[in-house]
Structure 1
């Protein structure tokens, strides 16, 4: 009977020790969550804001000239018409930057480009 009492005492101490171990882990997880929250607000959000500002300012000063048209044989091949529009323009066609197989389209408002 005394052995059973000692076994119960050992088990209760080990259960209590495990409980303290798990509570310490839970406490440290709260600390890491706080660390990630602080990093998000002090590093991530300002970094995204600076990147957005940088791209916005670059776009304000961005004036791209359209490249010279060179009729390479391997570019702008139309073996079959596109199923939209006149069949010659791609789905996201930009008349200022995208050439057709025979050259650029002439814009009426070419002074604005």
Structure 2
């Protein structure tokens, strides 16, 4: 090896590394480029119809049954100074109720509506 110039050794090393890298890389055929997985959508369609949608329906039924079997009592009203602060009136109604106000659940700054009436 003493008689071989450095540029020849570098060229040999470079070509051998290129060949080693090329042999490990798998080249895809034309079927992968054009799609090639015919029928793959059918698997996802069947998973959606037979796994995902029934799971969603079962979860919704479970939530409904749990909610109706254990009714929740609303918490007592405590007037904290940092909650239900109205610095600006709402642009609808009397300006005190939010857009999705529920008188059974949502309290006004002074208390629940049915407790205020009494």
In which range does the TM-score fall when normalised by the shorter chain?
0.5 to 0.7
Alignment pair present for 1:84 and 2:92: yes
Partner of 2:106: 98
Please list every run of at least 4 consecutive aligned residues from structure 1 whose deviation after the TM superposition is greater than 4 angstroms. Answer: 23-28
Q: Of residues 44, 52, 55 in structure 2, which corresponds to 1:44?
A: 52
Tell me, in whole angstroms, the C-alpha distance in 2 between the residues paired with 1:74 and 1:94: 21
Tell me, in whole angstroms, the C-alpha distance in 2 between the residues paired with 1:66 and 1:39: 40
TM-fit CA distance, 1:66? 1.2
Q: For structure 2, list consecutive stretches of 5 or more residues without a partner in the other structure.
A: 1-28
TM-fit CA distance, 1:42? 2.7
Partner of 2:69: 61
Q: TM-score, normalised on structure 2?
A: 0.58
Tell me, in whole angstroms, the C-alpha distance in 2 between the residues paired with 1:31 and 1:85: 56
Q: TM-score, normalised on structure 1?
A: 0.60
